[in-house]
Chain A
Amino acid sequence: MIEWLGLHTAYSNQFSDSLLVLLVLMVPLLMGGVAAFWRPQRRWPVSFVILMALLTLGLLALFLLARQILEHGSQAWLIELGPLALHWRANGLTLLLLLLTQIVTLASAAYAPAYLKSEVGRGGAQAWLWPLQGVLTTSLSLIWLAGDLLTLYIGLELMGLAAVGLMLLPGRMEALAAGMRYLLLALVGSLAFLLGVALLLGGWGRLDLAGLAMLAEPGPVLWVSVALLSAGLLLKAAAFPLHAWLAPVHSSAWTPVSALHAALVVKGSFFIAVQLWVVLVPEAKAAAWLVGAMGGAAVLWGGVLAWRSVKLKDVVAWSTVSQLGYLLLGFSLLIGTGPTVAAVAWEGTWLQLAAHSLAKAGMFLATGNLIFSTGESHVKGLAGASRRMPLSLLSFGIASISLIGLPPSGGFTAKWLLLHAALEAGYLPWLAALALGTLLSAAYVFRVFRYSFVEDAEPLDYRRVPWSMEFFAMILALASLLLGLVAEWPLLLLRAPGGEP
């Protein structure tokens, strides 16, 4: 299974070969800087031209990288900094995640100018939004590309600090308090990760994942280090018993930041956890079963709390906890199961990750539009909204098709694959969790709709939502739906040479 990660590739240490990857990493940073310097609200012609030029450059680099991978199989680079060597690699899965990151961040960044102008006004530290988004994109890309623990550590820390910074931007009391709690928790999570890395380095004297996969032997050292690594990562990924920080963080953050966080940041830690388990303890069936049970509990508990939530943003945040549970179910089907089960679960897990990212980002943006338009943050405040805002409600609905897992969405295909894998592995409780989770997500989505279709509500004063805010919410929601219709494309990427399950 480790070959699906594309780690065993001949490393090239020619600087010219790594130029494309460096471009992919640098362009988001540059774009963030440009947007902070020439703010899009004020001087949009200048920033628009420069940003478009940079964007073209970045996409071109990504396209060339994709062509290289699809033609010649996975690529790997050795970045030498004096005596230190960083291992980077890219295969089909990396490519899929890179694309996903770019799409979601771009949509969230492009949603921001209209949002800041009309909703936030002058408050908060607005100039920091785009640079921090750029840092977040770069650090996530670094995590997807990393082939050694040092790069992973750097990426994880950068991502955590950028995410905390983004949460603090509104500058209000609740945002600062939630951000402080998030900061402490992110720091503790990274300490656990570092301690685990220290034990691995002490035990086998190397940090590259391919080397560790060959050398690491089962024993107390390996188990303790994997336990520490997983504890830190699952805390950051808001896995079930460690999820309590997620909802308060979202309820006070700006909408585009919430979208970015729920769609990508928690996925970064999950990806690292999967990768480390596949590399270090591919046979730990009992432990993986435990993680899967946590996932099942997350699906149910998150669903129930989303259903009971009073605030609109809390519904969406708790639904994130529930949907991350599906990822953990997929995780447990990857470790210690037979190759056929693992192959199906592999595709199901990554498809669920992609579908949830797109759907959840779209849903958060649509929710932001609903709150903006009605001025109400409670679910009950939506009464009568169906008469005035069909487009925002439509985006919300399309995104929820994928979250519930109705055909033909990406969420449906992913859950179908996971169901298939669970059935084949004989993990029967997982089937119950999948079925109940679907019912619960239908329940919390339809609760929102029930309120918005109340006809005899007294008319509120609605604000017109700027077109760009409607547009980007709709684009992301549609993308999650389309992902189901063209599920062959992401699966094709996963099966690219050097990465096929």
Chain B
Amino acid sequence: MPPFLDALLALAMVALATLALLDRQLVRACAWFVAFAVSVALTWWSVGFIWLALLELLLGALLTGAFLFHALDIRQWASAPRGRLARWRDPVPLTWQRALMRLLPALAVLIMLAIALDNLAGTPGPLLVGGMGLIGLGLWAFALHRHLLRRLLAFNVIGTGIFLILMALVGDRNTAAGHGLVVTGLLVALLGTALGALLIRRLNRLDGRRILDVAEAGRSRA
């Protein structure tokens, strides 16, 4: 695999994850997340883990995406009433100060991780670089956002970053153990996302009014 393609894949993953985590419109954010999962599957395939690529496509892109859209209560694009649109927007405003403050814990973890990885010799491939980027980005987004769906997205991004680093460290020495861990992790991420999505939907139904009120207040202030 030529090096520039590696770099391109790592860059694509991080860029798609950024879009998924920062887009203010939740439906679009979820769509970006599905694209991100597909790019991860491509990365797995490019380094030769065919089974992981297929699993990522099935669990990460297809099923997780389905649950995310289910959480947003989307059935048909066109006939959605106007009231729902408010729920599809993230009501909590982003500010620069908050964003910078929440960057610090993510940076601390990244530095710690970089020191450890530096001691585990090896040339940094797309898995390692992409994984580090995703972990940092995910941690930052997790600390930054209050919206439950965004936190689920951030959790999935961090998880993917960890899987990438794990397989980069394992290489072709202990592939069985690495696969065992990653498959367990993927299943847990799917179950966690599914549970979270069902919960968000139930919470929305029980508390829909309050969330709508917050959204209205946010819009009138802006």
Chain A residues with CB under 8 Å of chain B are 82-84, 150, 153-154, 157, 161, 164-165, 168, 171, 173, 176-177, 179-180, 183-184, 187-188, 190-191, 194-195, 197-199, 201-203, 205-207, 219-221, 223-225, 227
CB nearest neighbor in B for A177:
B203
CA of A199 to CA of B131 in the docked complex: distance in angstroms? Answer: 13
- Which of the residues A83, A173, A194, A221 comes within 8 Å of B203, measured between beta carbons? A173
Contact A198 B188 (CB under 8 A): no
Within 8 A of A (CB), among B131-176: 135, 142, 148, 151-152, 155, 158-159, 162, 165-166, 169-170, 173-176
Q: Which residues of B contact A171 (CB under 8 A)?
A: 202
Known contacts A161-B195, A180-B200, A184-B151: A201-B116 contact under CB 8 Å: no
CB nearest neighbor in A for B179:
A84
Interface flag for B80 (CB, 8 Å): no
Chain B residues with CB under 8 Å of chain A are 112-113, 115-120, 135, 142, 148, 151-152, 155, 158-159, 162, 165-166, 169-170, 173-181, 184-185, 188-189, 191-192, 195-196, 199-200, 202-203, 206-207
B107 → chain A closest CB, angstroms:
15
CA of A179 to CA of B192 in the docked complex: distance in angstroms? Answer: 12
- Which of the residues B169, B179, B185, B199 comes within 8 Å of A202, measured between beta carbons? B169
CA of A150 to CA of B176 in the docked complex: distance in angstroms? Answer: 11
What are 21 inter-chain pairs, A to B, with CB distance below 8 A? Answer: A83-B175, A150-B180, A153-B185, A161-B192, A171-B202, A180-B196, A180-B199, A180-B203, A191-B155, A194-B162, A195-B165, A197-B166, A197-B181, A198-B162, A201-B181, A205-B173, A219-B119, A220-B116, A220-B118, A220-B119, A224-B112
Contact A176 B206 (CB under 8 A): yes
Contact A150 B184 (CB under 8 A): yes
- The listed residue with most B CB atoms (<10 A of its CB), out of A201, A202, A205, is A202
CB nearest neighbor in B for A172:
B206
- Which of the residues B174, B184, B200 comes within 8 Å of A157, measured between beta carbons? B184
Task: Give 5 new A-B contacts, CB below 8 A, not counting A199-B117, A221-B120.
Answer: A150-B177, A176-B206, A197-B166, A202-B170, A205-B173
- Which of the residues A161, A187, A195 comes within 8 Å of B155, measured between beta carbons? A187
CA of A194 to CA of B185 in the docked complex: distance in angstroms? Answer: 8
Contact A202 B113 (CB under 8 A): no
CA of A184 to CA of B197 in the docked complex: distance in angstroms? Answer: 12
Known contacts A176-B199, A191-B162: A199-B174 contact under CB 8 Å: no
A211 → chain B closest CB, angstroms:
11
Contact B174 A201 (CB under 8 A): yes
CB nearest neighbor in B for A231:
B109
CA of A203 to CA of B120 in the docked complex: distance in angstroms? Answer: 6
Contact A194 B166 (CB under 8 A): yes
CA of A180 to CA of B147 in the docked complex: distance in angstroms? Answer: 12
Contact B116 A221 (CB under 8 A): yes
A123 → chain B closest CB, angstroms:
13
CA of A171 to CA of B116 in the docked complex: distance in angstroms? Answer: 43
Q: For chain B, what secondary structure do more than half of its interface residues adopt (helix, strand, loop), or is it mixed?
A: helix
Q: Which residues of A contact B178 (CB under 8 A)?
A: 201
Q: Which residues of A contact B166 (CB under 8 A)?
A: 194, 197-198, 201-202
- Which of the residues B174, B181, B195 comes within 8 Å of A205, measured between beta carbons? B174
- Which of the residues A84, A157, A191 comes within 8 Å of B180, measured between beta carbons? A84
A400 → chain B closest CB, angstroms:
35
Contact B120 A199 (CB under 8 A): yes
Known contacts A157-B184, A198-B165, A199-B169: A165-B195 contact under CB 8 Å: yes
- Which of the residues B119, B152, B170 comes within 8 Å of A201, measured between beta carbons? B170
Q: Which residues of B contact A227 (CB under 8 A)?
A: 112
- The listed residue with most A CB atoms (<10 A of its CB), out of B112, B178, B188, is B188
- Which of the residues A150, A168, A197, A221 comes within 8 Å of B199, measured between beta carbons? A168
Contact B184 A153 (CB under 8 A): yes
CA of A12 to CA of B126 in the docked complex: distance in angstroms? Answer: 41
Q: Which residues of B contact A219 (CB under 8 A)?
A: 119
CA of A84 to CA of B174 in the docked complex: distance in angstroms? Answer: 10
Q: Which residues of A contact B206 (CB under 8 A)?
A: 173, 176
- Which of the residues B120, B165, B199 comes within 8 Å of A179, measured between beta carbons? B199
Q: Which residues of A contact B176 (CB under 8 A)?
A: 82-84
Q: Which residues of A contact B152 (CB under 8 A)?
A: 184
- Which of the residues B151, B181, B195 comes within 8 Å of A198, measured between beta carbons? B181
- Which of the residues B142, B162, B184, B207 comes within 8 Å of A195, measured between beta carbons? B162
Contact B116 A199 (CB under 8 A): yes
CA of A171 to CA of B199 in the docked complex: distance in angstroms? Answer: 10
Contact A183 B199 (CB under 8 A): yes
A293 → chain B closest CB, angstroms:
21
Q: Which residues of A contact B169 (CB under 8 A)?
A: 198-199, 201-202
Q: Which residues of B contact A201 (CB under 8 A)?
A: 166, 169-170, 174, 177-178, 181
CB nearest neighbor in A for B171:
A202
B116 → chain A closest CB, angstroms:
4
Contact B170 A176 (CB under 8 A): no
CA of A221 to CA of B117 in the docked complex: distance in angstroms? Answer: 7
Contact A164 B177 (CB under 8 A): no
CB nearest neighbor in A for B174:
A205
Q: Which residues of A contact B192 (CB under 8 A)?
A: 161, 183, 187
Q: Which residues of B contact A165 (CB under 8 A)?
A: 195
Q: Which residues of B contact A191 (CB under 8 A)?
A: 155, 158-159, 162
CA of A331 to CA of B12 in the docked complex: distance in angstroms? Answer: 45
Closest 5 CB pairs of A and B: A202-B169, A224-B116, A83-B176, A198-B166, A157-B188
B31 → chain A closest CB, angstroms:
23
Q: Which residues of A contact B115 (CB under 8 A)?
A: 220, 224
Contact B184 A154 (CB under 8 A): yes
CA of A177 to CA of B148 in the docked complex: distance in angstroms? Answer: 10
Contact B202 A176 (CB under 8 A): yes
Q: Which residues of B contact A195 (CB under 8 A)?
A: 113, 135, 162, 165
Q: Which residues of B contact A224 (CB under 8 A)?
A: 112-113, 115-116
A485 → chain B closest CB, angstroms:
43
B68 → chain A closest CB, angstroms:
15
B173 → chain A closest CB, angstroms:
6
CA of A227 to CA of B189 in the docked complex: distance in angstroms? Answer: 22
